[in-house]
Amino acid sequence: MVFRRRNKRTATEWMRESVYPRGGWRRAALYVWRRVTRLPDPPHRIARGVFAGIFICFTPLFGLHLFLAALLALIIRGNVVAALLATLVGNPLTFPFIAVLSVELGHLILRTGVEGVPASQILSAFAEAGAELWSNIWAIFGPDHPQWYHLKHFYFGLFHPYLIGGLGPGVVSGLVGYYVSLPMISAYQKLRIKRRRDRAEKLRARAAERLRHPIGLAEKEESGTP
């Protein structure tokens, strides 16, 4: 296949590159930005996709971010590929800050009185809740009895505050991404169109000159004279 890696990554390499990409985060961010700006779609549709992807990063629905970003992009008539690429705003470097901000703000809005939940506790709670959820699902089809108490405590203690608290920062960050990316994408697309037009005009001029002076132009090309 065209996009298959020549050398398959080991589990250790996959874990390492998920935290620190090969070439660094700056190179990874630049690559994603170039992919976004080169999408064949109007700038406003691409910017809407950027909004959708960034907004979804502030939701606690881990494992569904790509699907939800694509769905939201379709609803607001944005570019789906841009939305998928924009979900990379949520990465191992930013998720701790997003999680703490969302949970703290959620508890403040819900007036639960809970303060100062560390990022490590939030991420470990999500991992434990995911494992317990799968265990309960399997228990439904087996002899064991599912236990929902811990998941209920997790929902009201973390998931619900995260969901409520992430809406505001998600909208604000998404709008920032929209209004920052829109003029930059528009300017980049205009620059690409201008370069293509200039290149086409040069080719037409060279073809016209070849028709007018076929012998002289051929001699210049053979000698390397511009």
111 SS3 class: coil
Q: Where are the alpha helices (DSSP H) in 38-159?
A: 43-56, 65-75, 80-86, 95-110, 119-140, 149-154
CB atoms under 10 Å from CB of 211, counted, come to 9
Query: Could you tell me how many residues make up the chain?
Result: 226
Q: What is the pTM of this model?
A: 0.72
Q: What is the pLDDT of residues 74-118, one digit of tens each?
A: 999 999 988 988 998 888 888 899 999 999 999 999 988 878 888
DSSP state of 213: S
